[in-house]
Structure 1
Amino acid sequence: MVAIAEAFSWAGLLVAMAFKYGLGWPLGVTIMGSVHGALFTAYVVTTLIVFSPLRWRIWTLAFALVASVPPLATVWFERWANRRGLLTAPDSDAPTFWGQVRYVLKELN
């Protein structure tokens, strides 16, 4: 859901930029820039939160984060990940990435 919202906000920002530079109406960029910035941040934070429980490899995480840069690429990534079953939590008792980090920090303390 966040990936799709981020993509729509990207598209909205591009339209607002066309209005700003084509017609001289800068208000749209001010509004859509803020909306897109918030949704971009939400997408990145959501990606960083879900990659561990979904047990993504580091390359999948990298693809997800890189997809936040080009317009509408988050929708492409979401569909790609969904087709490969990467958006459902696997049944595993193995520790997650953040679980391993927590263990290492606890041991270092």
Structure 2
Amino acid sequence: MTPRLLFRSVAIAEAITWALLIAGMLMKYVLEAGEIGVQIGGFVHGLVFIAFGMTALLVGVNQHWNFRLTAIAMVAAIVPFGTIPLDRRFEKNGLLNGEWRQTRTADPRDHTRVSALLRWMLARPVLLACIMGIALVSIMATLLSIGPPGSIS
């Protein structure tokens, strides 16, 4: 899986979960059908929202995006369906081109500790997937322990 395919897949998944959350909110507030739609849609959206942020960070490091561009990518999921136009814009500007940077090149950006760590992790895809999965679960568990958005008084 290329960086482009991973980014696009999670961007589309994030947009789909926005639709699920909005449908759940319509069920709750318009149809007065209870909270189950918001609970399920919100949970799934929360997971994929966090996964998109993590994916944007991983791909941003791989693609040598600057801090501003990586932050824009990570924050794009806040806007409903915002990941789709972002993906298209990045594609148009060539920001998703190329493979995973598994070897060091002459590019000075490949000589940083972050790039070395990325290469080390890319050489161990199962470990990388486990670390990302544990991080995702840990972040989600922390947020769930705090409570849903708007519940902090």
| TM-score, normalised with respect to structure 1 | 0.82
Instruction: Say whether the 8 Å CA contact 1:52–1:96 is kept in structure 2.
Output: no
Q: Which among 84, 95, 120 is matched to residue 75 of structure 1?
A: 84
Give, in angstroms, the shift of residue 93 of structure 1. Answer: 3.0
Amino acid at match of 2:41: M
Counterpart for residue 115 of structure 2: 99
In the alignment, the residues of structure 2 paired with residue 74 and residue 64 of structure 1 have an alpha-carbon distance, to the nearest angstrom, of 8
Counterpart for residue 21 of structure 2: 13
Give, in angstroms, the shift of residue 4 of structure 1. Answer: 0.7
Supply the RMSD in Å over aligned alpha carbons: 2.2
Counterpart for residue 129 of structure 2: none
Give, in angstroms, the shift of residue 101 of structure 1. Answer: 7.8
- Give the 3-state SS of the residue equivalent to 2:77 in structure 1: coil
Instruction: Say whether the 8 Å CA contact 2:62–2:115 is kept in structure 1.
Output: no
Q: Which runs of 5+ in 2 are unaligned?
A: 1-8, 119-153
Instruction: Say whether the 8 Å CA contact 1:6–1:36 is kept in structure 2.
Output: yes
In the alignment, the residues of structure 1 paired with residue 53 and residue 69 of structure 2 have an alpha-carbon distance, to the nearest angstrom, of 13
Alignment of 1:1-109 (within 5 A): 1-25=9-33, 26-89=35-98, 92-94=105-107, 95=110, 98-99=114-115
Amino acid at match of 1:60: L
With CA pairs under 8 Å and 6+ residues apart, which has the higher RCO, 1 or 2?
1
In the alignment, the residues of structure 2 paired with residue 89 and residue 43 of structure 1 have an alpha-carbon distance, to the nearest angstrom, of 19
Q: 1:71 to 1:96 in 2, by over 3 A?
A: farther
Following TM superposition, the consecutive aligned residue runs of length 4 or more in structure 1 with deviations greater than 6 angstroms are none
- Structure 1 residues 11-70: Cα deviation after superposition (integer angstroms, max 9, x where no partner): 211111011011222111111111101100110111111111111122211210221101
| TM-score, normalised with respect to structure 2 | 0.60
In the alignment, the residues of structure 2 paired with residue 93 and residue 20 of structure 1 have an alpha-carbon distance, to the nearest angstrom, of 56
- Structure 1 residues 63-87: Cα deviation after superposition (integer angstroms, max 9, x where no partner): 1022110100001110000001101
State, as a whole percentage, how many aligned pairs show the same letter.
35
